[in-house]
Each structure stands twice: as structure tokens, then as C-alpha cells.
Chain A
Amino acid sequence: MRVRVDTSKCQGHNRCYALAPELFDVDDLGTAFVLNDGVVPAGLEAKARLAEKNCPEYAIVIED
């Protein structure tokens, strides 16, 4: 599984970073970026989905 942040939509609500800090980080301006090139380590798929389901801007994209 891979995960991606659509930076044109991300507004820095920081939900992804709060819910799945293993997969996302945020920069100084609050904008999210993926760790590990977006490759979701085995066992963290549920966390990636959780982040996707809690992004108010629909900015997180999951690619299976």
C-alpha cells in the first residue's frame, strides 16, 4: 500500500500527523508530507486508512 498527500488540497489540519505519525509529518507551515516515500509498512495499513478518513480536505490518497 502507498499513501500520498495532495499538497494542492492539504491545509494543515494535522489530523494525519496526529493519527499516524509513523506515516506523516508536517513542516513548519503545517503542511503534511509522507514519510518513507509513501510506502506504508506492513501492519500500518489501518492507520493509513484512518488518516484518510479523518482529513477534512480529502487530501490523503491511498493507492493499493
Chain B
Amino acid sequence: MADIKDLETYLNEVYGPVTDWMTDFDHANPEYNENAHALWDEMRDKCPVAHTTRYGGTWLPVTHEYVSEIAYDTDRFTSRSVVVSRMKPSLAPDMPPAPIGTAPPISSDPPFHHDARRVMLPAFAPKKIAAWEGDVRALCNELLDNVEGQEVIDAAVDYAQHIPVNVIARMLGFPLEDSDLFRKFVHDVLEGVDEPVHVRQPKFDRLFDYISVQIEEHQANPREDLTSFLLNATIYDQPLSMRHVAGSIVLLLLAGIDTTWSAIGSSIWHLATTPADRERLVREPELMPTAIEEFLRAYAPVTMARLVKEDMDFHGCPMKAEDWVLLPFPAANRDPKEFADADKVIIDREENRHSAFGLGIHRCMGSNLARLELTIAVEEFLKRYPNFELSDTAGVKWSNGQIRGPRKLPVRILPNK
């Protein structure tokens, strides 16, 4: 990692505009997500590993080959922190060390990762998740009822963002009326990665404080939900530590909300801007499963990160211990070496080994839930509104940071043809 001579300055400096996207990129700069597809194509042709000295040194490999190589290589790359910010673990002495990390299992490495993941997996198995279908459908319809009759609706703000928050609040047994509150906590933490530490840390503290209150409430009144499930769970015959339970809940909120919100929003954005695909899906609803996988491939919302364990050479890149490496699964999904017509959205694509949910041991634990929410959200939206378009192209606003999706998505509802 680059020498940090003056820690205060390093932690609190405000980053300037990007001078060159190959050698000085900044994934938290708004231009990155706005132009992501073109930027990754350019990097794939020119690099294919971009670099920046920001955040104490960060690499960005954009081919499917390199992304999967790093995802599988848990010996040389650690998951101790998966969100790039200035706050490297070595600068945060009270951060729990590998292989556990702050939010097991996403922040864990083998062998602990396997055991922490096992605790939670049964709650997210396909048959368990399928039972939520009716609730999710009812929720989507309730949200659509709320905006019934409006000529223009914001599909990101009025619709997509509420779905994952509400579902995870129900699963965890948190008060549904707090949904807006903790969606804001989560959002602040995820979008503020380039902020100075003195601004960022209090946001984390707020989130953990809120969760502690919910945990205490569940200790007093245990019930049939995911929070009580975690409080009763054991690892190596011992109950999970409070830090582990709180970390896992933070993980479920951080991992499940902005991600699914983004996937729903991007899919609706595609249907608003591609009338041929929208009309075809309305005519041939049996294409929904392949269409959903194609939206996940083409608009994959999640880029994760790793830290380099020891100085090494990665295909000619001199990676230093503690350097960040971004894992842009969305860029891997657009690599023409892995996908035919990688830059085209083909809603009946037959062969689709996309990695929107990651590759290797950290495969998204919520993938069954995310697919259920995404499929139902798109189905119900199209059923209610078979015809719509962007009402204001300039009004579309994309997120900042590692989770990519529309945060403002004004669409005009048109009469059914």
C-alpha cells in the first residue's frame, strides 16, 4: 500500500476530478456508473486492469477471466473488507481480524467463512424463499396502488426501493414502519465511500445502534424470524457472539437492499427505453425467466472488492499488500470472450453463465430471494403498466459507488396499445 505520511490528510482529503480513467479512475465519481459500460469496454481493450492511487491504491480488472481468477483465489486475496473506502483494516485497529471480519460471512475467509455461511444458508434455501412469493406480490401491488392514476411515477423511488427493504424487515422481524429509516442508514453507508472518515463513521454508528436496539428487543421477546434464528444459532457449539449477530444483520441489510433496488430499477429502465423488448415480454410472458437472467447479466448491480494479502505480480500488475482490488462482476458479464453479443440485451438468451451473484465461495446467499423479488416486481409492474417510457431522460439519476442502479427513474405511463 502506498506510504501514508500524514494519516489525517489521507483520511480527510477530498478527491478531485478524474484525470484519466485508466490510471486515475474513481468508482465513486458519479461519471463512473453513468458511463460504466463504455468505460469497461475501453479498459478491456486498453489495460485490462485499471489502476488508481485513490483509497490508498486500487486495481480494477475488467475481464471475466481475471475477475473469476481473483474470486476463486482466496489464498492471495482476502475478503476482510469488500467495500473500497479509505478505511483499510490496518488503519482500524479495532476491526475484527481475518478470517472473521466485521460482517460474517462476507468479510470472512476460509476456513471460518464456510462455517459462518452454513449457519445462515438454510434460511435462504430455494424452497424456504419460495414461500415468500405471495407476500412479495401483495407488496408490489400495494405500492402500485399508491401511485395509481399518476401520469408520471418514479419507478425507483416510488416502487423499486421499497420492495427489498420491506421484505427484509419482515424476515428480520423489524418494525415495518422503520423501513424508511433504515433504508436511509443503509443508503448513507453505501453511497458515501469517498467521504472523509469523520463524516462516514457516524453513519455506521447510527446503523449499528439501531440494530442493537432491535436485537435487545428480540432477546426480550423471541419469535419466529431471522433475528431470533440468528440469536439461537450456534457455531462450534457456542451461540454466535453479539458482534457476529449484529454484523450478519448489517450484512443482510447492506447486501440485500440497494442491490435488489438497483436490479429492479435497471430492468424497468431497460423496458422503458426498449419498447420492442417490453412489447415482446407482454406478448410472451413465458420469456420472463430468461429475460430476468439477461437483465441480471447486462445490468448486474454489484461490484465487490478484495484486499491483496502480500506483494505480488498479477498478470504484470505490481500489486502491493493491502491494495484494494475491485471485482466488477458487471464488467465480467459484458466480456465478449465469455458471452456472444455481450453488448446486446437478448431477452431469450439461451446460454447465460452470468456472475451477477458472484463466483466461488461467496456466491450471493440471497440470490434466491433476489430473483424472486426481481421477477415479481417486473411481472407486476408490466401487468399494471404494459406501456410506458422515460418521461425525462435527464431526470434519470444513477447511484454512486459499488452498487449500480437508477436512483431516480421518472417514467410516463402510456395508454395500453
Contacts and interface: CB of A to CB of B under 8 A. Distances in A.
Nearest to A46: B350
A17 B351 contact: no
B361 interface: yes
A1 interface: no
B351 A29 contact: no
A53 B126 contact: no
A10 to B, nearest CB: 9
Interface string A2-21: 00000000011110011000
Contact of A18 (B289, B353, B361): B289
A54 B353 CA distance: 5
Contacts of B126: 14, 17-18, 26, 30
Contacts of A12: 121, 363
A30 B293 CA distance: 19
Interface string B116-134: 0010011011100000000
Given A13-B357, A28-B125, A30-B124, A54 B363 contact: no
B320 to A, nearest CB: 29
B359 A29 contact: no
Contacts of B289: 18
Contacts of B352: 53-54
Interface in B342-367: 350-355, 357, 359-361, 363, 367
Contact of B361 (A11, A50, A55, A56): A11
Grouping DSSP codes into helix (H, G, I), strand (E, B) and loop, the A interface class, with mixed when no group exceeds half, is loop
A11 B353 contact: no
A56 B122 CA distance: 21
Contacts of A17: 126
Interface in A16-64: 17-18, 26-30, 50, 53-58
B368 interface: yes
A53 B293 CA distance: 13
A54 B290 CA distance: 10
B126 to A, nearest CB: 5
B125 A26 contact: yes
B359 A57 contact: yes
Contacts of B124: 30
Contacts of B354: 56
Nearest to B353: A56
Interface centre among A13, A28, A57 (most CB of B within 10 A): A13
A55 B360 contact: no
Contacts of A55: 353
Nearest to B117: A29
Contacts of A18: 126, 289
Nearest to B123: A28
Interface of B: 118, 121-122, 124-126, 289, 293, 350-355, 357, 359-361, 363, 367-368
Which 3 A-B residue pairs are closest in the complex by CB-CB distance?
A11-B363, A53-B351, A29-B121
Interface of A: 11-14, 17-18, 26-30, 50, 53-58
20 contacts: A11-B360, A13-B357, A14-B367, A18-B289, A26-B125, A26-B126, A28-B122, A29-B118, A29-B121, A30-B121, A30-B126, A30-B368, A53-B351, A53-B352, A54-B351, A56-B353, A56-B354, A56-B355, A56-B359, A57-B363
